[in-house]
Amino acid sequence: MRITLYTRDSDETVALGERLGSLLGPNDVVALRGDLGAGKTTFTRGIALGMGLDADIHSPTFNLIHEHQGAMPLYHVDLYRLENEVDVETLGIDEYLYGGGVSVVEWAERMSGLLPPDTVDIEILSGPDDLRTISINCSQARIVEGLRMESVDA
């Protein structure tokens, strides 16, 4: 099931991420795709808020994975600096994906073969200006219904 939503500034993207974050449960994986500056990290900031985490979410510069502890941990993965999919396997990513927390993966296309089948797949398209088109593809009815109920489609 696909839902397409639009945001007009970064606050709206945070708010959308927050709604998704409040719907996520253990072992859920969110794959974020989109160009540099599209809003993936901004969206992740919202997810953390929705999970009730007081986390400092920023683009990891050196580490590919940032762990944020909480009632349900958030594993923030950013594969921008990853050279190839083989490197992902050496990260031991499965321990995160199936470790009971929520995993959010920026540049998820770089490990597409390793993502669980029920991954929430999100593509953010940028422009014109501050407009973002956010397409959410999700097979989990619980999440889709939650997003629909509070939908703010433009």
CB of 9 to ligand ADP, least distance (A): 5
CB 140 within 8 A of CB 148: no
40 binds Mg ion (CB under 5 A): yes
Q: Which helix (H) or strand (E) holds 45?
A: helix 40-50
Cis peptide before 116 (omega within 30 of 0): no
Q: Which of Mg ion, ligand ADP, none does residue 64 bind (CB under 5 to 8 Å by kind)?
A: none
Nearer to ligand ADP, 42 or 103 (CB): 42
Neighbours of 154 (CB within 10 A): 10
* DSSP structure string for 80-145: TT---HHHHHHTTHHHHHTTTSEEEEETGGGGGGGS-TT-EEEEEEE-STT-EEEEEE---HHHHH
Nearer to Mg ion, 56 or 153 (CB): 56
42 binds ligand ADP (CB under 6 A): yes
Nearer to ligand ADP, 3 or 140 (CB): 3
Alpha carbon 67 to its chain centroid, in Å, reads 14
119 binds ligand ADP (CB under 6 A): no
Site residues for ligand ADP, 72-91, by CB under 6 A, read none
Which residue's CB atom is positioned nearest to ligand ADP? Answer: 39
Q: Contact positions toward Mg ion, by CB under 5 A?
A: 40-41, 59, 106
Interface positions with ligand ADP (CB under 6 A): 7-10, 12-13, 34, 36-42, 59, 106, 130, 132
